[in-house]
Each structure stands twice: as C-alpha cells, then as structure tokens.
Amino acid sequence: MAKSNATKSATKSVQSETKPAKSVKAAADAKAAEAAEAAEAAAKEAARQAAADAFRDRLAGHAAELEELFMGLYGDHAAYEQLLAAMEQAATDRPADLQAIDKAREQDPDWYKRGDMFGMTMYTDLFAGDLKKLAGRIDYLKEQKLTYLHLMPLLKMPHPNNDGGYAVEDFDEVDPLLGSNEDLANLTKKLREAGISLCLDFVMNHTASSHRWAKAAQAGDPEYQDYYFCYDDRTIPDMYDAVVPQVFPSAAPGNFTWNEQMGKWVMTQFYPFQWDLNYRNPKVLVAMMSSVMHLANLGVEVFRLDAVPYIWKELGTNCRNLPTVHVIVRILRIILECVCPGVVLKGEVVMAPKELAAYFGTPEKPECHMLYNVSVMVNLWSALASQDTRLLKAQLDALNALPDNCWFVNYLRCHDDIGWGLDEDVERRLGIDPLAHKEFLYHFYEGAVPGSWSMGELYNYDEPSRDARSCGTTASLCGVEKAIITHDRPAFDRAIERDLLMHRAMAFLRGFPMLNCGDEIGQLNGWEYKEDPDRIEDSRNLHRSPFDWDKAALRTEEGTLQQRLWDGMADLRAMRDDPCFGPDAWVTTWDSGDDGILAVVRQCDGETLVGLFNFATTPRHAHLNASQYVMDALDADLAPYEARIIRR
C-alpha cells in the first residue's frame, strides 16, 4: 500500500532534521581528529626539539676533543661537519622510549656490571628461523632470566659465502632471509619489555665484496676504490705481506686478492670475499658511524666491535693494535655518548692481556665498555684437559690487575672456534713447552689423545706452523656425546659434572657470564653439516646447528641431561644474586695448595665469598692461607670436578 501524503511529509521532515545533525557531528569529529593530530604532531616536534637540545648539551662537553681527534686524523672540515650533521639527525630521530633508556643509564652508568647480568648468544635462524619467530620465543629467554641477548650477524649478506654473516653487504638493512628493519625494531622493543638488551656485531674492518661500495670500485670508480686498499701491482702488497701476519694461512692464505674485473690487488686479510676498509678515508668513517647510529635507533643496545684491532693499516707495521685504532674507537665512544648514551661497546680483542687495557681507554677518555674474555675461555679449556690451573691462574691475575674500568663478558663457547693463544712466556716460566702443549690440547679435544673424553674437530690446521684451533659444543667437548654413544652411565655423569664445573668457574670470575645457545640443555655437535656442500668446508659449523626444541622440552623432566644442566644454570644465577657480585667487588685468585684446584676470592662491603673449583679427575685437598682483613685459613676436600662456594 502506498504511503499517505501525511506519512511522506513526516518522513521528509525527519530526514531534513537528521541530515544537518549528522553533518554537524561529522564536522565536530573531523575537527576533533584534526586537533588531536595537531597535538600529536606538536608533541612529536617538542620531543624532537628536546632530543636535539639534549644532544647539543652532551656534545658541548665533547666537541673540543671530537674535533681535535677527527681533524688530527683527517684535517677535513667538510667531512667533520657531515659527521656532526649525521649525529644531530640521529639524535633528533631517536625514539622516545630509547631516549628514556639513555636518561636512565646516564644516571646508572654501571648497569651492565650488575650481578644479575646474564647473557646468551645465538644465531637467529638456527634458534627460531627469523626475527618475527624469535620474538615469539622470548618467553624461553625470560624463563632463563636473561638480561642480554647477542644475535649473530643479521645484516644483509651474500649467500652462501658470508663467513657466518661477517661479510656484510649493507650495514643499514637486515638480511631479507631473517626479516626487515621493522622486524628488528619490533624485536628490540619486545626484548626491552622483557628486560633484555640486544647486542649485535658491528663488522668494522671489512665489507662483503658484493657491497655497493665494492661493486662501484670493481666497476672502475676511483672514489670507491679509495674506500678500500687497491693496487695496480704487487709492489705495495708485497711490502705489507713482508711484515703483516696471515689470519688464516691455510684456509685463506695471503693478505691480498687479485680482482680480475677491477684489474687490481685488493686487501683481504680475512677471506677473499671480505674487502678491508680504508679508514684513512674520512668518508668511510662518517658512513660507518652513521650506520652505527642507525642501528642504535632501531633499538640495538650493545655493539660487539668485530676484529677491531685490525681496522687501521700502516706500512712497516703488523697492522695490529696501532695507536690510530684507539683514536677511532674513542671517536665512536664520543659519538655514542652524545647521540645515544644508553648504548654500550663490547670489543672483540683476541690479543695478549698486555694489549687489552688500551681498548678500555682511561676513566677520563674511555673507549670500549667491556671486552670478550677470549683468553680466559681458552685457559679454562686448557685447565680442564691438563688438570692444571697454573696457566689459568696466571691469566686471571693479569686480568684482575687491570684498572677498575676494565670489564669482561665471560663465556665458554660462542659461534667461533677455540684458538689456542696461550701466553707462551708464562708457559715457559712454568716449564711447559708451548707448541707441545698446544698440540696436546687440540688433539685432546678432537678425541685423539689416549684417555680423552672429548669429541670435537680441528679448524684451520696449518701444517708448517703445526697450529690448529678446536670446534665443538660445550657438552660434546666435555664428554657428554662420547658417553651417550658408548652407553657409559658413569662417564655420562662425570661429563655433566665437567660441564657444570666449567660454567660455574666461568660465572664466578670478574665480569658477567654469557651462555652459547643450546649449552643450557647440553646440545651436542651437529655432524650433519658434513652433508651440506655449502657448509662442509668450515668445521665451525659443527657447533652451529639448529636449536633442538624437542630436547629443550625435556628441561623439566627429572634426571634428564637437559634438566640437570638447566637447573645448573639456574644455580649460577642464584649464586650471582649476592653483594659479592656487585660492580665494586674486589676479585682475586688465591693459592689453593694444589695445581688442580682454582681458588677465587670475591669481597664486597665486608662480605667474602671463596670459589673452589677442582679441575682434576681425582679428589683433591685445598688449603688457603689466612690473610688479615680478607679471611681466615680454609681447608676443604673436593671431589673430582666439584665446584664449591664458601662464605667466610
């Protein structure tokens, strides 16, 4: 039935009244949204201005030194202005939550020295697949109360020849196989919420041969050839080779590679596909520093400076630990303190203890905040195989004698090999033949010495020098794998005791402990790498295998390998929840009266802890003499591989 005229009229009247009402509301909503948007923009601009002001205030305290260092190195005002502009831009663009961390850590500069610091290192793809999936596994990291996560190199790299990610194709972009920059920023945000700081490697010494700079150099561009060390003939390369040691004399002999496309020799100290950067060129420094700041603004809180002793080259020298290296590291430290003071530098310095202190700088002019404790890692494995802690004790004494600003990340295994760089002068003083001892160690850990319980492999064996390094997971090197294969239960129990002894000793030392992912569940060697043509040539892949989530699920099952080691790591964290592990603790070794037992004393605020670690296969007795103001005399009987903590 058709509507009546009255009904139609009423309907039109309602519609005419509703339309203006809706129109007014929409206009009001639009105006409110516009105001909110304007307020948000104003807040962002205010935050940017505050960040810029804070940067200028911090720069004011460093500007004179920064300019002096930069101009002394390059004498290039235009390049210096470019650096300052890049710094201000990075500071202004820094996200608000990261600025908050900066402010908090300026008030708490020793945050990374606290006793509750507990770290882990891993490969993103081996642990979870990619960055998004890793973000979904953070609960596993929180379960271990981690405060520090070191992810192996994840920036864009060539495939397959990338040296485990240390051949970088783009310092500003995440490798597409692992995710995107957005994925990295999202991951760091979730890690911060979980109380975990992310560490990434920054490969300062070289780029991949497929980096855009290297491609331009190969195409004949002289500007980019000056980003590297490129020579028409062998004259200068031969002068370098006469005094510069080879890093990998067997796997990658020589320090230069002939590039057919470019028609020049290029310096490649590590591998032919890694071109050494020329830091004599200020454009290189400015570009690399810009990349550091970019990554810091994505949420990276710690940078591991890879191969930092090698970054400056000079004819007539061995191109290691040169004074200019420290100028560059100091410049980087100043940049971070001005732009992102919550960020920390960790140096990878595989050098003798006498070389280490310089990389910390001085309290007035600091460089690295902390270093990888490579030398103690090596000496721990030496003590375990030889049942003799004298070399380890001497190394600890040398490190403990360093100034208070020197701090270390202690570990047993990482992505790399064990290079047997022991202190040969100390060895000779103790009556140990350095070469014979090195050969004993690397043969012991490949299981080729009678009585060895270890299963590992050699890496980079060099027949002329009889030098070699060792590969394998902690559990396999400690005897777990061999005991499982031979169905030897007593040997299995003893292997777990060795594993826990090594972790407990490592965690008791000056610095903070870092686990290699998988060691918390006793992951074994990944021999399957030999079936992969892209991996078989590098025996370090033995300990670079996918994380075994099925084995990890056994960590709560009583009596399993996984449960025993998982609970052992929990004991480490409980041990370190003590005032004697604070930043100001005094740490020293003590004579135990038995070369098989390492004794370490920690003291802080009137509290004293003694750590006794028996590296021998037999029961041993420790006697520690008394010392005024430290402790009374102490006697203790220790079972094989026992670690005991005693409060005095």
Q: Active-site residue numbers?
A: 306, 348
Q: For residues 266 and 283, what is the distance between their CA atoms, to the nearest angstrom?
A: 18
Beta-sheet pairing, 467-471 with 418-419: antiparallel
Q: How far apart are CA 185 and CA 234, in angstroms?
A: 45
Pairing of strands 597-604, 586-590: antiparallel
Closest CA to 410 of 421, 399, 402: 399
| The pairing of beta strand 197-203 with beta strand 302-306 | parallel
Q: Cα separation of 110 and 172, whole Å? A: 29
CA-to-CA distance for 460 and 468, rounded, in angstroms? Answer: 6
CB within 8 Å of 193: residues ≥ 6 apart: none
Six-digit token pair at 423? 């202190």
Q: What are phi and psi of 230, to 5 degrees?
A: -120, 130
Read off the tokens for 528. 């399957």
Interacting residues of 461 by C-beta distance below 8 A, sequence separation 6+: 250, 467, 468
d(CA 352, CA 345): 20
Query: Is the N-terminal amide bond of 253 cis, ω within 30° of 0?
Result: no
DSSP secondary structure letter of residue 361: B
CB-CB contact of 90 with 290 (8 Å): yes
The Cα–Cα gap between 178 and 199 comes to 16
Q: Which residues contact 428 (CB under 8 A, 6 or more apart)?
A: 434
Q: Are 643 and 610 in contact (CB under 8 A)?
A: no
- Amino acid identity of residue 463, one-letter, is E
Q: How far is CA 547 from the centre of its chain?
A: 19
Q: How far apart are CA 87 and CA 103, in angstroms?
A: 17
Q: Which of 293, 356, 286, 362 is nearest to 328 (CA)?
A: 286
Side-chain half-sphere CA neighbours of 225 within 13 A: 15
d(CA 206, CA 202): 10
Tokens of 122: 């891993």
- 496 vs 500: CA distance, rounded Å: 6
Q: How far apart are CA 354 and CA 588, in angstroms?
A: 18
DSSP E strands: which ranges in 506-606?
Answer: 512-516, 586-590, 597-604
What sign for the dihedral angle of Cα 280, 281, 287, 290? positive
CA R_g for the chain: 29
- Contact yes or no for 56/48 (Cβ under 8 A): no
CA distance 252 to 138: 38
Q: Do 441 and 429 contact (CB within 8 A), yes or no?
A: no
Category of 305 on φ-ψ map: left (φ > 0), alpha (ψ -120 to 50) or beta: beta
Give the CA distances from residue 528 to residues 127, 206, 531, in Å, rounded to whole numbers and listed in that order: 17, 30, 6
